[in-house]
Amino acid sequence: MKEKIAKKFQEQFGCEGDFFASAGRINLIGEHTDYNGGYVFPGAIDKGIIAEIKPNGTDKVRAFSVDINEYVEFGLNEEDAPSQSWARYIFGVCRETIKRGFVVKGFDTVFAGDVPLGAGLSSSAALESTFAYAVNYLFNEEKIDRFELAKIGQSTEHNYCGVKCGIMDQFASCFGKKGALIRLNCKTLEYKYFPFDPKGYKLVLIDSCVKHELASSAYNKRRASCENAAAAIRKNHPEVDFLSDAKRVWLDEVRAEIPEEDFLRAEYVIGEVQRVLDVCDALERGDYETVGEMMYQTHFGLSRLYEVSCEELDFLNKLARKCEVTGSRVMGGGFGGCTINLVKDELYDSFVKTAIEQFTAKFGHAPKVYDVVISDGARKL
């Protein structure tokens, strides 16, 4: 990938720049908890974005996306926003950096990636954190700390891409470390690395290749439901800043006051916050059966209570159970994308084969299968 980028950069701009990279992410457990102040448990993966970048002495960014085969130029003022969605991520990162009082000047860039798009692996966070890291390095003597880099990416999603996401994806891309998952408390921002090397097991992602058009508006709607439930609980329990602060019985107290849909969303979130802690404890004991069981519970909640699964993902989840896979669930925001599966080594081949065959027979197209390695996040190459 790096060679391809370097060749194109030379062709397009006639010089050489520095290389920066960042990664997509998986999340073992803790879904839709981040914007509720709960825990998440992600790790960066060996699929990401690489960008070659060089300041160009102008006030314009000139960017070429190898994968989309498209060139875009834009200025750095608010009114210069490009219309191409991939370029808006880069523009957003520049704007959010400037808004925080830091410096961004014109630069040339060529980039490419291997995070599958729309699979729930956060290709957009990988793109944001690559550029956030790079502008920090190139124009700000690395004065911006990693949390702020993650927040720059998150605000880019909020203000330039229309998704009111939490901090998980950008956090994982910025803090990812080879061989470790990171448990983040999204309220206090305390985090802890957990070495992850499950002996005798593999993690495999099965991509349904389903993408839902309305995913961002449905995502924002889930968030609004949670905020509504939290506000109702707060009237009785003022200590509740986020839904994750609420006890299950406190939610029951307000059941009649909120739409049933909001109640179900909140019921899922409160259960999920606890599951992350249970999984971390189980991992420390090497108890993968419990880890897996929690993953199935999360899938159930995401499917029936949070309603962000779909027929294809429910099918893959059921099939995993049938094949005696230790744990399986829809991963990421949902509405399509992947299941993440924790599979015993000896079952791996037969599970993957069965999943491909039966999914294809039922839906008329094959799912994609990705092995992932937990890797480093944003960095200069």
DSSP annotation of 256 reads G
Which residues fall within 8 angstroms of residue 227, CB to CB, at 6 or more apart?
Answer: 243
Give yes or no for residue 151 binding ligand GLA (CB under 6 A): no
Q: List the one residue from 166, 176, 336, 377 that touches ligand GLA (CB under 6 A).
A: 166
Give yes or no for residue 165 binding ligand GLA (CB under 6 A): yes
Which residues fall within 8 angstroms of residue 174, CB to CB, at 6 or more apart?
Answer: 22, 129, 132, 133, 146, 147, 149, 150, 153, 377, 378
Q: By C-beta, is 94 or 165 nearer to ligand GLA?
A: 165
Question: Nearest distance from residue 200's CB to ligand GLA, in Å?
Answer: 27
Site string for ligand GLA, 95-124 (x = CB under 6 A): ---------------------------x--
Annotated catalytic, 169?
A: yes
Residues of span 21-60 touching ligand GLA by CB under 6 A? 31-32, 34-35
Contact 60, 143 (CB under 8 A): no
Q: By C-beta, is 95 or 329 nearer to ligand GLA?
A: 329
Q: By C-beta, is 164 or 368 nearer to ligand GLA?
A: 164
Give yes or no for residue 210 binding ligand GLA (CB under 6 A): no
Q: By C-beta, is 112 or 126 nearer to ligand GLA?
A: 126
Mapped onto helix, strand or coil, the DSSP state of residue 167 is coil
Question: Nearest distance from residue 312's CB to ligand GLA, in Å?
Answer: 18
The single residue of 169, 207, 245, 262 carrying the catalytic annotation is 169
Give yes or no for residue 168 binding ligand GLA (CB under 6 A): yes
Residues of span 122-141 touching ligand GLA by CB under 6 A? 122
Mapped onto helix, strand or coil, the DSSP state of residue 235 is helix
Coarse DSSP helix, strand, coil percentages of the chain, rounded to the nearest 5 percent: 50, 25, 30
Q: List the one residue from 116, 176, 292, 332 that touches ligand GLA (CB under 6 A).
A: 332
CA–CA distance, 124 with 230 (Å, rounded to integer): 29
Q: By C-beta, is 17 or 113 nearer to ligand GLA?
A: 113
CA–CA distance, 211 with 215 (Å, rounded to integer): 8
DSSP codes, 43-99: EEEEEEEEEEEEE-SSSEEEEEETTTTEEEEEESSGGG--SSHHHHHHHHHHHHHHH
Question: Nearest distance from residue 189's CB to ligand GLA, in Å?
Answer: 14
What is the distance in angstroms between the CA of the first residue and the CA of the last residue of the chain?
A: 13
Question: Nearest distance from residue 375's CB to ligand GLA, in Å?
Answer: 18
Total residues at the site for ligand GLA (CB under 6 A)?
A: 11
Active site residues: 169
